[in-house]
Amino acid sequence: MKAAVVQLASGLDRVANRRGATEAVRTAAGAGAGLVVLPEATMCGFGNSRTDLAELAEPLDGPFVVALGAVAEETGTTVVAGTFEPVAGERRVFNTVVVVSPAGLVGHYRKVHLYDALGWCESDRVHPGEPGTANAPVVAVEDLRLGVITCYDLRFPESARAAVDAGATVLAVPAAWVAGEHKLSHWTTLIGARAIENTAYVLAAAQPRPTYTGHSRIVDPFGVVLASLGDDEGGARPEAICAELDAGRLEAARAALPVLRHRRFSVASPDRTADT
C-alpha cells in the first residue's frame, strides 16, 4: 500500500482549510496513495492564546468531516486529519483526529497528553481525551492496521505501545510540533524511536515553520526513513511525500526483532479520571 504524509499550514479560515485539505488528498491519491495523513489542527489552526477554539470547533458530523468523507469516497482513500470537537457544557474543546474512509467516519482519537510545556498551555483551551481502549481506534487499511496518536503524545511511549497492543502496525502522528530550541531534534528522534521500539511504520505529518517544525516523515519498522520533508517556511503550498508500506517488511522486522514478544512489562491505563 502506498501512503502519503501531507505537510500544510492551517489558519482560522475553516473554508480555506477544507479546500486545502481536500485538494491535498486528491493530489496524494493521484500519486497512488491509498492512505493520506494530514497534520493536527488541519480543520482550524490554534491561532493565539486568545483564540476561542470553542467558536470554531465542529462536531464529528460537521462540514470538515463531511468534506473528508466526500473526498475519501471520490478518491478511494483513507484520510487521517486533525480537528477540534466541541465539549458539552464547557468552553474547551477536544483536539480530535478523525479517520475517514469511503465508508465515512471509521474512527476518532481525542488527544490525551496536552502540551502544557515550554511556555504553552494547551489545556487552557483543550479538554484531554481519556486514556483507554475506548479512545484508541485501530482501523484496517488494506493488509495493515492503523492506530493514531497526536503530536505531544509522541513523547509518551505508552501511547504508541497502547495502540500497538490494540493491533496497530502503522502509527499515524498528526502534529503541530512547535518550533524552538532542540525541538526538531526531539521530533525526528522520537519518530524513529516509536517506529523501532514498536516495529511499526510511523507516518508523521507536521505543520510547517515558522510556528511549527515541519520535517514530516515516513519511517519503517526498522527505523529507516523512507521519505521526509524540510521545514517549508510559511507553508504557502501543501507538500506531500509518499512511500510504500509493506506488510511483509513489517513481518520481517517483527521476526528479526521480536521486542513485542520479549517485553516483560505491560501498558495499563490509569484507573482514575484525569484531574482536569
Q: In the annotation, is 44 catalytic?
A: no
Q: Residues 6 or more apart from 200 whose CB is under 8 A from it?
A: 160, 164, 168, 169, 170, 171, 194, 221, 250
Report the C-alpha gap between 6 and 217 in whole angstroms: 9
- Whether 122 is catalytic is no
* Candidates 23, 40, 158, 244; catalytic one: 40
Is 111 tagged catalytic? yes
Across the chain, which distance is largest between two alpha carbons, in Å? 50
**Which bin fits 130, alpha (ψ -120 to 50), beta or left (φ > 0)?**
beta
- Selecting among 85, 151, 181, 197, the annotated active-site residue is 151
Say how many CA atoms lie within 13 Å of 98 toward its Cβ. 25
Q: Contact at 8 Å (CB) between 195 and 180?
A: no
Catalytic residue, candidates 44, 85, 111, 122: 111
- Give me the active site residues, please: 40, 111, 151
